[in-house]
Amino acid sequence: MIFEHDVLVIGAGMAGLRSAIEANRAGADVAILTKVYPVRSHTNAAQGGINAALGEGDSWESHAYDTVKGSDFLGDQDAIEILAQEAPSDIIELEHMGVIFNRDEEGRLGSRNFGGATHARTYFVADITGQAMLHVGYEQILKYKIPCYNEFFATSLILEGGEAKGCLAIELRTGEMHMVKAKAVIMCTGGVGRAFEPSTNALICTGDGMALAYQAGAPLMDMEMVQYHPTTLPSNGALLTEGARGEGAYLINSLGERFMQKYAPNMLELASRDVVSRSEQTEINEGRGINGCVLLDCRHLGEQVIRTKLSQIYDLAKDFSGIDLVKEPVPIRPGMHYIMGGIKTDVNGRTMLPGLFAAGETACISLHGGNRLGANSLLELVVFGRRAGAAAAEHAARSQHSGAGEKRLKQDDDTIRELLGREDKGEHAGPLRMELGRTMHENVGVYRTAEGLTKAIGLVAQLKERYRRISVGDKGQVFNTNLTAALELGNMLDVSEAICRGSLMREESRGAQFRLDFPDRNDEQWLKHTLAYKDGDSVRMDTLPVKITRWEPVKRTY
């Protein structure tokens, strides 16, 4: 079928929901299209909280500077100023919508410490902040009666005269291909964690939107900046929130030492994530770990704090490591968590492809530069989701629908049919994804070298070659997860190539990118963003200056 809307939002995480609400308020006929039911989006997994300079003695300037420093001076300061200035009113709006933030003894919004922040400015709902936000966001979608194409998988963008005009998508319940035309499209498809193995991300975080935009000609920015979170479980990569360290938990090595005293004497466990992850990895590499891990010790926080403020991670540690956080420290290690890079946008979500906007983890504005501070991502979703929604509605008001019709729809349909029609003799997506994930983790993880990156580029190219001959075992039409896994793998391969190329190109160490062969930050040559363009079967790299408004780069210590 062919559907038409003014604005189409692809993705129903909090970035998508907030964009749609704003486009609706601006008078646009907006619809959301999502491959999973909205409240199953990865935003649901966010634990620790959301930042804003709301408390006494705090200021937006302090929040902005912490973010700039956290980014290792790669974040664009005009965007960071907007983030910090607009945060307080967006948090209060969330509260008014119904997000029941924790309160202190006096009944005021209660905050907790988070990494890289000089004030306790992280607002939270126990350790289920993302779930609380996402459910309230979805209530608003129901209130505004915004239509949702639930369980529709976007396969490509419709382009006309160099403009984005909607997308094609498979309805997962029926296998039918549809076209959704729109005068503006907002990509809110989240991160690409599953290109790494293990990862804290849900299985659905496969970089689809980044790949679709990239394939349509929009550049990806700073893709080498991949965040490893310091506290993930070794068994399955599950995250134990930074909120634990925010509440006062320690990190210790096999000798029982609080090793962060060596690496970040002032902020200790609450230094930036890149710094803590590297410190842990150094301890492990130098023989002071325990089976490839160090320990997170929460015991001194007491049962009351653990059971009320950290209840989810209490359960995670118990279920997946068999450890009672009240009684024992839990083994943890750095694990892939977030991508700072993404589809390059301006501060209103405009990408470099007219008609295409992006918000949330899939976008790179760039707020987080080389390293995102914890609790700044949920904030990005509401501040920049709102801004992208308004800008897309404005764009749609002066744009026309595409003339594309059944012929275009059939092209994509034929591609899917060809894939499904192949005899089941080729390789399957699952094992190929595991190979991709291990390759990325081993060579594009906490520590990198030119040798490892070149190896990864070669392996990704080989996987792309093998991917051409992939087959799909399930030939059915209804919820064919074999088929979607194959499509997702194609997307992850494209995005991974851009990650590796960006990392090889950036011959310095900054934020999450640590090059053993270039161990220092090099502001003279590398105070700039990397851009990756898809150029036929290869990648064309470019650079862009960093926007500095008031904070010149200085040495970064914690």
The residues, ordered by sequence, that sit 6+ positions from 432 with a Cβ below 8 Å of its Cβ are 463, 466, 467, 470, 489
Q: Which stretch binds ligand FAD (CB under 6 A): 371-379, 392-400, 449-457, 511-519?
A: 371-379
Q: 34: which strand partners?
A: 150
Q: 545 preceded by cis ω (within 30°)?
A: no
Asked if 129 is part of the footprint of ligand FAD (rule: CB under 6 A), the reply reads yes
Which listed residue (20, 36, 268, 546) binds ligand FAD by CB under 6 A?
Answer: 36
| CB atoms inside a 10 Å sphere around CB 360 | 33
The order of strands in the sheet holding 330-339 is 226-232, 330-339, 294-297, 250-252
Within residues 347-366, the interface with ligand FAD by CB under 6 A covers 360-362
By beta-carbon distance, which residue lies closest to ligand FAD? 13
Question: For the chain, how big is the Rg over CA atoms in Å?
Answer: 22
Q: Which stretch binds ligand FAD (CB under 6 A): 27-35, 138-146, 308-316, 413-421?
A: 27-35
Which listed residue (381, 392, 416, 429) binds ligand FAD by CB under 6 A?
Answer: 381
Q: Is residue 194 within 8 Å of 307, Cβ to Cβ? A: no
Asked if 33 is part of the footprint of ligand FAD (rule: CB under 6 A), the reply reads yes
Q: Minimum distance between the CB of residue 373 and ligand FAD, rounded to whole angstroms?
A: 9
Asked if 113 is part of the footprint of ligand FAD (rule: CB under 6 A), the reply reads no
Which listed residue (196, 338, 357, 467) binds ligand FAD by CB under 6 A?
Answer: 338
Asked if 343 is part of the footprint of ligand FAD (rule: CB under 6 A), the reply reads no
Cβ distance to ligand FAD smaller for residue 233 or 453: 233
Candidates 366, 511, 521, 501; CA nearest to 444 is: 501
Q: Minimum distance between the CB of residue 448 and ligand FAD, rounded to whole angstroms?
A: 22
Q: Is residue 12 within 8 Å of 149, Cβ to Cβ? A: no
Asked if 10 is part of the footprint of ligand FAD (rule: CB under 6 A), the reply reads yes
40: left (phi over 0), alpha (psi -120 to 50) or beta: alpha
Catalytic residue among 245, 337, 395, 515: 245
Asked if 371 is part of the footprint of ligand FAD (rule: CB under 6 A), the reply reads no
The residues, ordered by sequence, that sit 6+ positions from 377 with a Cβ below 8 Å of its Cβ are 46, 338, 361, 368
The CA distance from 539 to 207, in Å, is: 17
Q: Minimum distance between the CB of residue 468 and ligand FAD, rounded to whole angstroms?
A: 20
DSSP per residue, 441-482: HHHSSSSB-HHHHHHHHHHHHHHHHHHTT---S---SSS-HH
| CB atoms inside a 10 Å sphere around CB 151 | 18
Catalytic residue among 229, 333, 433, 529: 229
Q: Which stretch binds ligand FAD (CB under 6 A): 32-40, 68-76, 460-468, 517-525?
A: 32-40
Asked if 480 is part of the footprint of ligand FAD (rule: CB under 6 A), the reply reads no
Binding mask 176-205 for ligand FAD (x = CB under 6 A): ------------xxxx--------xx--xx
**Any catalytic annotation for residue 245?**
yes
Place of tokens 């000609």: 217
Asked if 130 is part of the footprint of ligand FAD (rule: CB under 6 A), the reply reads yes
Asked if 13 is part of the footprint of ligand FAD (rule: CB under 6 A), the reply reads yes
Which listed residue (9, 16, 186, 446) binds ligand FAD by CB under 6 A?
Answer: 16
The CA distance from 199 to 197, in Å, is: 5
Helix (H, G, I), strand (E, B) or coil at 210: helix
The CA distance from 374 to 371, in Å, is: 9
Q: Which stretch binds ligand FAD (CB under 6 A): 39-47, 456-464, 497-505, 535-543?
A: 39-47
Q: 296: which strand partners?
A: 251, 330
**Any catalytic annotation for residue 229?**
yes
Q: Minimum distance between the CB of residue 251 and ligand FAD, rounded to whole angstroms?
A: 18
Which listed residue (26, 31, 34, 453) binds ligand FAD by CB under 6 A?
Answer: 34
Which listed residue (6, 208, 247, 497) binds ligand FAD by CB under 6 A?
Answer: 208
Q: Is residue 243 within 8 Å of 47, Cβ to Cβ? A: yes
Asked if 158 is part of the footprint of ligand FAD (rule: CB under 6 A), the reply reads no
How far the first Cα of the chain sits from its last, in Å, is 56
Which listed residue (132, 146, 172, 239) binds ligand FAD by CB under 6 A?
Answer: 239
Active site residues: 229, 245
Which spans of this chain sit near ligand FAD (rule: CB under 6 A)? Answer: 10-16, 33-36, 41-43, 45-50, 129-130, 153-154, 188-191, 200-201, 204-205, 208-209, 239, 338, 360-362, 374-378, 381
